[in-house]
Amino acid sequence: MKKVSIFILIISLNLFANSSIESLNEKKIEKLIQKEEQLAIAYRKYLVVEAKKATRIEDLKDYLVDGFDFINPFGIKMNLDFENGQIVSFKPKNETILNSMILHYYSNKNRNNTLAPLDTKNNVIIELNNIENFIQNNSSKIVKYNQNRESSKFRVKLNKEDEENKKTNDNLLNNVSLEYFGSDGKSKYSYSPLFGITFASGISFQDDNLQVTKEVKDLNIPSEFMTLGVSVFDCVYGDVNKTECRTVKESIAIGPNNFVRVNPDEVNVGKTVIQFYRRAGGMLVNGDIYAWGNNGKGITGIEGNKSFTGKVKTNSEPVINAIMPLRAKLYTNINDVSSNENNKYYAQNYFNSPKRPKFIDFFISVYHGNCGISTLGEVYCGGTTGGSSNSWYDDLDSNNRKGELLYRSNHFDGSTKAKKAKKIFANNQIWHFLAEDGKVYVWGSNSSAFGGGATVNKRSYNSISGLSNIDDITYILTIGFRRIGAIDKNGAIYIWGTEATPTGGNISCNRKFDGITYNFCSAQKVVSGNSNMSSIPRFISLKGGIDGFIAQDENGDFYKISQSNNINDKIQIESIKEKIKSYNDSNEILKYDPKKDNRIISADIARTIDDLNNPSRFSSGVVWVNEHNELKGDIFFNNTHKNDKHFNESIKKIKWTQVKVIQEENGICGIDVNHQMYCWGIQAYYRNSSGSTSWGNTYMIPVFNTNLYDLNKDFLVLEGASDYLTAISSGEWVDNVKGADGGKEHKDAFFMKYPTYIGGFNYEYEFK
């Protein structure tokens, strides 16, 4: 009996030991699969970040968590088949381990980034998406994300924040795309596994008969991308860099060279614009216009003749300190005159109805009122309750007015191409309208040759001769330096206008160079004969700056274009890319980095600290955002500000996409990668104003949205006068400013000392 008991005990111990070994093996196999999953993710990251295959397993170290051991749980070093992008499978010699592996290792149960071996002779397959697989097999055709573009090659595009956290952020793999550059070095299309293929500006995927164009066929798009069911997009591009898709047409592949259009009609995906103008500002969001600032002319939609109690100064005006939605009168569509439902909406003050007009452009100024252009090309303007002014556009419907609303133009009603507006702005007493027919029309009273040679009055709308096929118009704002600019669809730039600087100047329409006379009281094309550049680039965008224009060419490079008031001076075209190479300050923000600053995504004209002490001369500074989303350049007010540790650290903390200098003393706003707007600078009602040609310049933001006001001064309405603005902050958030009362100093200016987020301003803005 004793022998039997011992025998049973031995068997039990043996069974228990076998069970324990099997359980241990299962845990080791589970750990092995986890390590293979980690290796697979690391290999995929390596492919897209380095744009090539790894050659040693140690190459993946930077993409694995700290302390990752390449020895597997069974004591064998792990390895990869780099040529085929596979993990060499573990092949045990121990039969017990092999039996456990058959049940657990050769299963896809716990695998997300790998596929189990088909049998003991095969390796573990790393599941690659289309882009990763393409890089694996075509590394010679790929350029790394941080390298310059190359002709006939793909460049990897990464989200910069993802790349910086490549060890821990697996989301990196979801944000990868490939951008293809043709033999001419220009971008042709991009591919993303999530969104499909998107063609670059100027390339049409399908013709009017929905057939694939020859241009696209000649690109020989890889079959890895042009798969069954992939979405293909035609885009019309906008924004400052012509990179944001504004209007989109989507098609889906249903067979070889066979596609079906998802949305036959174009879908307007919207444009968001923001504008600052002296003591006012506005923004266009989802087709609705919002305004803030000095309401003396009724620009915020509140009656301009409204006053308030408790005034401190005489001749002061209400300053609206928060964003206000503008209301527009509802009209019967000119193409649907039988409908009268809009009249009912109007009678009931139902201004936020789904029938309300939507806008694609706008202009706001305390001197000119507020105007917008509807999606139908109609011009609407307000400010009608603010008294009278020679600067206002008042050729508006005057029937059955109810108060301060946007009323439709009697002329620009969208009925013809010539009466369908695309862009609008005013300078002095003259208004400029870019119409659908490609011409620029003027209205008002001419001054400083801003009319471009056209007959300007308030009775007729005349177009500026010499201008046709125009794509965009813009202006320089600073008094003494103002010009009007236009760019046509062929990439040519035109400028016109003459004006004295604050210290005077030699003013004349005509300038003679090399025996040829150029009349700048009319629109003049920028050519080698009247400029300092022998070969003029083909430009794709033109924006007004503080005392010059910022243009971008078809290669994505930025230029400053300016014209002095000296009749002996040619137009100056200056490459921003070359200019910033001279920046070599001890402050990193003012220092050029050849690796990081090789490509600029946004730029504007700014003043150096020395320029700020000499306001009558042209600015010589620049601000820029590089492709690493760093803001650099002349962003400071003075040397103290330049050396402010908190300011510098705040600037470096933010990942930027756009920058705009909105005021001559380096009042600046920028947009970050999350579409948040940050601003800094001094805001007052007037400053340094002692004559009509002096700066007299400031800017306004809705301070209520900054959270920098004192808790006992949460005013939605301020009081503004020539020497006064209601103080709403204290301490470091106020500064001295010279008013219009003989240059006396007043300590009532709102001072955004550091980059300050403007609450609620979280849109994909384009600076107007």
Considering the domain architecture, whether residues 177 and 92 belong to the same structural domain is answered as no
pLDDT of residue 166: 67
Q: Read off the pLDDT of residues 185-205 as tens digits, 9 standing for 90 and up.
A: 888 888 888 778 888 877 777
More confidently predicted of 685 and 489: 489
Considering the domain architecture, whether residues 81 and 190 belong to the same structural domain is answered as no
Residue 97 lies in a domain: yes
In this prediction, residue 13 has a pLDDT band, given cuts at 50, 70 and 90, of very low
Considering the domain architecture, whether residues 92 and 169 belong to the same structural domain is answered as no
Mean pLDDT of 606-628: 88
Considering the domain architecture, whether residues 89 and 150 belong to the same structural domain is answered as no
Considering the domain architecture, whether residues 120 and 164 belong to the same structural domain is answered as no
Considering the domain architecture, whether residues 147 and 105 belong to the same structural domain is answered as no
Checking if the pLDDT of 240 tops 50, the result is: no
Cα-Cα-Cα-Cα dihedral sign, residues 393, 397, 400, 402 = negative
Least confident of 105-114, 277-286, 324-333, 370-379: 277-286
pLDDT of residue 724: 72
pLDDT of residue 548: 92
pLDDT of residue 274: 56
Residue 317 lies in a domain: no
More confidently predicted of 762 and 685: 685
Checking if the pLDDT of 477 tops 80, the result is: no
Considering the domain architecture, whether residues 120 and 170 belong to the same structural domain is answered as no
Considering the domain architecture, whether residues 30 and 77 belong to the same structural domain is answered as yes
Mean pLDDT of 596-615: 89
pLDDT of residue 615: 73
Considering the domain architecture, whether residues 164 and 137 belong to the same structural domain is answered as yes
- 623 vs 281: CA distance, rounded Å: 22
Checking if the pLDDT of 631 tops 80, the result is: yes
Query: Which 8-state DSSP code applies to residue 708?
Result: -
Least confident of 75-89, 253-267, 300-314, 698-712: 253-267
425, exposed or middle or buried, with CB in 10 Å at 0-12, 13-18, 19+?
Answer: buried
Which of 268, 289, 320 is the C-terminal boundary of a domain?
268
pLDDT of residue 518: 94
Residue 297 lies in a domain: no
Considering the domain architecture, whether residues 156 and 219 belong to the same structural domain is answered as yes
In this prediction, residue 764 has a pLDDT band, given cuts at 50, 70 and 90, of low
Residue 581 lies in a domain: no
Residue 152 lies in a domain: yes
Mean pLDDT of 700-726: 72
Residue 219 lies in a domain: yes
pLDDT of residue 702: 66
In angstroms, the Cα distances linking 57 to 40, 53, 367, 744 are: 11, 11, 68, 71
Instruction: Provide the residue type at 650 as one letter.
Output: S
In this prediction, residue 122 has a pLDDT band, given cuts at 50, 70 and 90, of confident
pLDDT of residue 673: 82
Q: Read off the pLDDT of residues 248-266 as tens digits, 9 standing for 90 and up.
A: 566 777 655 666 666 544 4
Please report, for the chain, how many H helices and E strands are present, in that order. Answer: 10, 46
Considering the domain architecture, whether residues 120 and 138 belong to the same structural domain is answered as no
Cβ atoms within 10 Å of 451's Cβ, excluding its own: 25
More confidently predicted of 175 and 19: 175
In this prediction, residue 588 has a pLDDT band, given cuts at 50, 70 and 90, of very high
Residue 202 lies in a domain: yes
Place of tokens 């760093």: 630
Residue ranges making up the domain that contains 211: 131-268
pLDDT of residue 271: 54
Work out the percent of the chain whose per-residue pLDDT is above 90: 25
pLDDT of residue 139: 87
pLDDT of residue 502: 44
Considering the domain architecture, whether residues 122 and 154 belong to the same structural domain is answered as no
Least confident of 167-176, 338-347, 724-733: 338-347
- 103 vs 112: CA distance, rounded Å: 18
More confidently predicted of 256 and 422: 422
Which of 213, 237, 268 is the C-terminal boundary of a domain?
268
pLDDT of residue 762: 54
Checking if the pLDDT of 581 tops 50, the result is: yes
| Helical ranges in 431-570 per DSSP H | none
Q: How many domains does the chain have?
A: 2
- 469 vs 438: CA distance, rounded Å: 4
Q: According to the per-residue pLDDT averaged within each range, which of 236-250, 277-291, 368-382 is highest?
A: 368-382
Mean pLDDT of 618-638: 92
Which of 243, 268, 293 is the C-terminal boundary of a domain?
268
Least confident of 54-63, 270-279, 540-549, 736-745: 270-279
Mean pLDDT of 630-645: 91
Classified as helix, coil or strand, 191 is: strand
Residue 181 lies in a domain: yes
Q: Read off the pLDDT of residues 25-60 as tens digits, 9 standing for 90 and up.
A: 778 888 888 898 999 999 999 998 888 998 899 988
DSSP string, 222-245: -TTTS-TT-EEEEEEEETTTT-EE
- 67 vs 170: CA distance, rounded Å: 18
